[in-house]
């Protein structure tokens, strides 16, 4: 942080709209308030996720849903997607690849979200967050793991110098990726989890 940024961090607007310095005690108090707000937000988000997970546990398993490398299909429709793992609770988030790919075509509508707002021209793609309690979780997690492992192995084959490099891929990650690929069919069938 530069001296200018440090100085700006300790200034506030007074009632005359002038920038005035604040004391270290006031700065500490502001930091504590901000941390309390962050903690409250995290607790509320954890509670919302707990409720969503409980709701997902009630959704019956649709055996026609197939989680493929770059799409999901249900026998009738196919939607291009990509997968992401949430490290905090190990939930899998599935994102539609394009704005015209609707996850509700292939997944239960209860788990699909889209916070687009037409009035403000804010658009985003559909996404579905699948928690451990969901009957779809083993299949989505298996696919996410296999896709991750394939990506690691592909990167190492393309650039072997990445292996063990501090900004690259660790030996442990590479070993885990090889292990997942060894049991790829079991992962995709939802029979193996880490």
Cα–Cα distance measured from residue 159 to residue 25, given in angstroms and rounded to the nearest whole number: 51
In whole angstroms, how far apart are CA 109 and each of 58, 113, 179? 13, 8, 34
67-91 confidence digits (pLDDT tens): 999 999 998 999 999 999 998 888 9
What are the E-state strand segments in 25-181?
Answer: 66-67, 71-73, 78-85, 92-96, 112-113, 127-130
The structure's pTM equals 0.72
118-170 confidence digits (pLDDT tens): 788 888 888 999 999 999 999 999 999 999 999 999 988 888 888 877 667 88
Pairing of strands 127-130, 71-73: unpaired
> Domain-by-domain residue ranges, the chain?
3-57, 66-188
The SS3 of residue 14 is: coil
More confident residue, 49 or 35: 35
């Amino acid at each position: 942080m530069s001296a200018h940024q440090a100085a700006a961090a300790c200034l506030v607007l007074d009632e005359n709209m002038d920038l005035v310095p604040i004391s270290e005690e006031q700065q500490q108090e502001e930091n504590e308030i901000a941390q309390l707000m962050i903690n409250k937000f995290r607790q509320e988000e954890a509670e919302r996720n707990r409720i969503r997970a409980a709701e997902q546990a009630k959704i019956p398993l649709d055996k026609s849903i197939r989680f493929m490398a770059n799409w999901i299909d249900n026998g009738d429709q196919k939607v291009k997607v990509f997968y992401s793992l949430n490290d905090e609770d190990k939930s899998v988030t599935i994102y539609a690849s394009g704005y015209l790919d609707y996850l509700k075509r292939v997944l239960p509508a209860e788990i699909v979200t889209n916070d687009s707002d037409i009035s403000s021209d804010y658009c985003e793609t559909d996404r579905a967050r699948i928690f451990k309690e969901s009957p779809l979780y083993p299949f989505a997690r298996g696919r996410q793991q296999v896709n991750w492992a394939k990506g690691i192995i592909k990167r190492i084959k393309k650039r072997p110098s990445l292996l063990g490099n501090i900004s690259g891929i660790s030996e442990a990650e590479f070993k885990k990726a090889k292990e997942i690929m060894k049991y790829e069919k079991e992962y995709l069938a939802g029979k193996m989890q880490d």
